[in-house]
Amino acid sequence: MKFGLLPRIVAAIALGIGSGYLLPMWATRIFATFNQVFSEFLGFCIPLIIVGFVAPAIADIGAKAGKMLVATALLAYVATLCAGMLSYATGQMFFPSMITPDEFVEAEAKAVEVAPYFSVGIPPLMGVMTALVTAFVVGLGASRLKGDVMRSLLGEFRDIVDMVIRRAIVPLLPVYIFGIFLGMTAAGEVAVVLSAFFKIILVIFALHVLLLVTQYAVASLFAKGAISRNPLKLLWTMMPAYFTALGTQSSAATIPVTLERTVRMGVDKDVAGFTVPLCATIHMSGSCLKLVACAMALMLLKGMPYDFGMFMGFVAMLGITIVAAPGVPGGAVMASLGLLTSILGFSEADNALMIALYIAMDSFGTACNVTGDGALSVIINRFFAPSSAPGT
């Protein structure tokens, strides 16, 4: 039987917790050794993921530069930025009363160390920020060149990175996450972590609803022609796309439904045909919201210092690095690992937890992204729909 990534991750978490109470320490250290080597390989791949995803996306946008494209890209980025700030503000308001770091500190003090037998040491080719700047320079340069050689090269490099993720990283992720929860259980920390994040997951679901209502409330202000000015009616029209995305866990696979529902709202067919496929690639509000909330919760749990400026920088860079990542399983969280480490100071174990939590909620983030695409299309329609047939 073939299982999707989400069932495998859930099974890995459950088996890891159960095995943590049964396996002897020598067996636990074997998985800790695997995790050490795998995390080093993952750290090596992070700059490649950033360059491989971001550079081709920037080159493609630049090569097709037009008013509607630029407007849609900027709107998608602003929407992602606002979602991250909404998540941060909500976390500041509620998370400190929901998360008690004293419990984790106490559990960590009593924890039994699970050390790997050895490590390999695989240094990355470049740092995260160097990779991001490189992606910008190469992507912008390729967009200005008249030839297609560089863009073709970037496209093939993206395919290589995509293949590494799909055939090497993703298949081994369940084993990696199994080892993380196995080690946490053996160390005596798993109960505190799971208790804290169960409450955070409920908050994230509520935030998704609030985000979508807000997006459609703003979109209704730009309604044109046949488009309703009732945000709840607009949101209800997009619900089939939401539930389709829950099932497919893919923005790309949901494009036909998203396009049909967007047109049904009254958006011009040509506008919808342009914005929906583009936003499926670059609009990541739901994913950004999840990443910020989970990162903030983990930092509170571990007593790590943070401030508004730190998260503002993280969200600003996140909105760029996760461009063109939706087509890859867990692509958004993979692209964000470097920022989690370089900006927020996450360790390898912290990144592993982020991967597990993100993928466990991946379908809801995808559904939020897809449904929000309709709201962005309504706004773009206000300025670019043909005046002779508004909203048709």
Domain ranges in the chain? 5-384
Q: Which pLDDT value is given to residue 391?
A: 41
Using CA atoms, how far residue 388 sits from 92, 237, 271, 318, 376, in Å, is 48, 25, 14, 39, 21
Q: Which pLDDT value is given to residue 249?
A: 65
Q: Which pLDDT value is given to residue 253?
A: 65
**Full-model pTM:** 0.75
CATH class entry, domain 5-384: mainly alpha
Closest Cα to residue 355, out of 341, 343, 369? 341
Q: Which pLDDT value is given to residue 183?
A: 82
Which contacts qualify for 317-321: CB closer than 8 Å, 24 or more apart? 317/132, 317/343, 318/80, 318/84, 318/288, 318/291, 318/292, 319/77, 319/80, 319/81, 319/84, 319/284, 319/288, 320/54, 320/77, 320/132, 321/50, 321/53, 321/54, 321/132
Q: Which pLDDT value is given to residue 372?
A: 92
Q: Which residues of the chain have pLDDT under 70?
A: 1-6, 61-66, 101-112, 146-147, 189, 196, 247-250, 252-253, 323-331, 387-392
d(CA 110, CA 132): 40
Q: Which pLDDT value is given to residue 348?
A: 76
d(CA 179, CA 100): 25
